[in-house]
Chain A
Amino acid sequence: MKNNPISIIGSRKTKQISETIAHKIFVICAFFAVLSVASITVYMIINGTPALTKVGILELLFGSDWSPTAANPGYGILYVILTSIIGTAFAILIGVPIGVLTAVFLSDVAPKKLAAIVKPAVELLAGIPSVIYGLLGIMILNPLMYRLELAIFKDSATHQFTGGSNLISAVLVLAVMILPTVINISEASLRAVPEHLKAASLAVGASKIQTIFKVQIPAAKSGIITAVVLGVGRAIGEAMAISLVAGSAVNFPLPFNSVRFLTTAIVSEMGYAADTHREVLFTIGLVLFAFIMIINIILTRILKKGNKNDD
């Protein structure tokens, strides 16, 4: 088995060569992934930092005047950052509770037949292209918002009317978009909770609801947090679905204002190559990148901490 294996193909030499070649190819493949992430990160940093020094970190990140083509250009993206934070936060606040409760419904409360129909439907919806959500937002949400806007701000002297493209529309579209993701993953983790935990709780005399909320959900915590993390990731990174429903002026993120997110800012300005303008664009990308990293790290940290407490 060592020096002269009774090999079933070819001679020993060719097999050695093909073995090493195969091995080397696989190593290259694996490093491809590392290389990609490395190059994207490096590229973002290299292209995103010049603007920070040129325009100044304070003015860039905390300035609110966005007028890149004015005679005296202003590159303050504070409102854009705030919009992304607030918009995502509200989308999560609306989407996650509905999603988790629906997952509870699917895994424990619904009759088997109903669950068998609804669950595949939700899985299907996780795969719908995001632009379709945007399309529906324009067709249904915007006109609705406009009517609301007209009604609420009827006598306002200062409100600038946007025809329905505002923060609320974007938040609602985002909330609907993250529903399938949150539902699917939460449901899977709720279902994965060992039967004996549920049985024990019911045996002790807790009602079904108490079992669900005091036993099952805590047991499924890591899965649910994963679902939330993925939902946040999707919401903060979404560009196309909200680019047409959010309006596109750079304003403070009030519900009925036309706003710009970090992502929609990139989409709107992507065509430009004008030096500082283009560099600021990369800085916006870098900020987005940083946010995602931070969110991932924080939430994974909470996850680990939670797990430790369970032990």
Chain B
Amino acid sequence: MALCLTAVLTFGLAACSTNTGSTLPSKSTTQTTQSTIQTSGAALSGKITMAGSTSMEKLSNALAEAFMEENRGVTVTAEFTGSSAGIESLLAGSVDIGNASRKLKNSEAGSGAVENIVAIDGIAVVVNPNNSVQDLTQEQLTSIYKGEITNWSELGGSDEPIVVVGREAGSGTRGAFEEILKIQDACKYALELDSTGTVVAKVASTAGAIGYVSLDMVDDTVTALKLDGVEAAAGQIKAGDYFLARPFVMATKGEISEQSELVQAIFEYIYSDAGTELIESIGLIAYEK
């Protein structure tokens, strides 16, 4: 058993080192700019822990990987428990950074959480690819989620009941969605799922389902609806035409300048050009600080 363990560990290490061999070609130029910024002092080491929004999973993972590749001695881990849970963990001191896919609540800011917006994301309203309905008005969307319209035929689609999918109570996406449409506490959900990915999966497999997800999670298994005629895309969000947009917040307990060297470094990274490139490569909009 011990032999097995050592064998796989060494093999795992070998795989680890081979994985780091292949880097994206565009990174080499940004790497030189990064190394000039960090010439001061010894190489960074330690760990950074993040927790929070499932919508920010792609961003968190990409950021973690990119940062760890530049700083070999650092480990960045992220848990995806939901925006509210993430901020709770932050305030309880369990993690260094709390990810939220909405603006911080007054109570959270009052307890010491500082809102550091790192990107802007759109909330895409998705339906099953077989659905013939391609766009909705804001009023129609509100009615669907309030349970007033219950069949796609009322919207010009086929005679199919609408399966209303949403997120759990602490979700940042849900918070932002309901706040923008002004339907807090008024939604009638058939299903309250735990993460953005789960909503995508459910909508993709259920004809007649409708759900809201982070824009960077939309793939070809679902169709993103146009809202008020506006397509859900980065350009339209930046121009302010698509009304379902919300900030991605990486909150810290106290200002960034009060955090540890590691946390400051990761924020420095994300606000740098390399960070902007990373954000945009995933499909988000970089935030002009």
Contacts and interface: CB of A to CB of B under 8 A. Distances in A.
Interface of A: 67-71, 142-143, 146, 150, 153, 157, 160-165, 244, 247-249, 258, 268-274
B172 to A, nearest CB: 12
Given A69-B169, A146-B206, A160-B164, A165 B191 contact: yes
Contact of B163 (A163, A268, A273): A163
B129 to A, nearest CB: 15
A271 B169 contact: no
A247 B161 CA distance: 17
Interface residues on B, range: 20 to 34
B88 A272 contact: yes
A258 B191 contact: yes
Contacts of B84: 69, 271-272, 274
B88 A258 contact: no
Instruction: Kindly name the residue among B164, B184, B188, B206 whose own CB sees the greatest number of chain A CB atoms within 10 A.
Output: B206
Contact of A271 (B85, B188, B190): B85
A69 B88 CA distance: 14
A164 B170 contact: no
B202 interface: yes
Instruction: Kindly name the residue among A142, A157, A160, A247 whose own CB sees the greatest number of chain B CB atoms within 10 A.
Output: A160
Interface in B138-158: 147, 150
A161 B88 contact: no
* A interface majority secondary structure: loop
A153 B192 CA distance: 21
Nearest to A267: B194
A161 B163 contact: yes
Give 4 closest A-B pairs by Cβ, nearest first: A271-B85, A271-B81, A163-B206, A273-B88
Given A146-B206, A161-B161, A247 B190 contact: yes
Contact of A273 (B85, B164, B169, B190): B85
Contacts of A70: 185
B168 A268 contact: yes
Instruction: Kindly name the residue among B84, B161, B189 whose own CB sees the greatest number of chain A CB atoms within 10 A.
Output: B161
Nearest to A244: B198
B232 interface: no
Nearest to A248: B192
Contacts of B188: 160
A269 B89 CA distance: 14
B185 A161 contact: no
5 contacts: A69-B170, A165-B191, A248-B192, A249-B191, A249-B192
Nearest to B159: A154
Nearest to A159: B161
Interface string B183-213: 0110011111110001000100110110000
A162 B190 contact: yes
Interface of B: 81-82, 84-86, 88-89, 92, 147, 150, 161-165, 168-170, 184-185, 188-194, 198, 202, 205-206, 208-209
B34 to A, nearest CB: 33
A69 B209 CA distance: 24
B191 A248 contact: yes
Nearest to B107: A274
A68 B88 CA distance: 15
Contacts of B190: 160-163, 247, 249, 258
Given A69-B169, A160-B188, A258-B190, 5 more contacts: A146-B206, A248-B191, A248-B192, A248-B194, A272-B170
A142 B194 CA distance: 18
Contact of A162 (B88, B163, B184): B163
Nearest to B94: A273
Contacts of A157: 150
A163 B193 contact: no
B192 A163 contact: no
B119 to A, nearest CB: 22
B189 A274 contact: no
Given A70-B185, A143-B205, A273-B92, A163 B82 contact: no
A142 B84 CA distance: 30
A163 B191 contact: yes
B185 A71 contact: yes
Given A163-B163, A272-B85, A272-B88, A248 B193 contact: yes
Nearest to B92: A273
A247 B184 CA distance: 21
A67 B191 contact: no
Contact of A163 (B170, B185, B202): B202
A146 B84 CA distance: 32
B131 to A, nearest CB: 13
A157 B161 CA distance: 10
A161 B170 contact: no
Contact of B185 (A67, A150, A160): A67
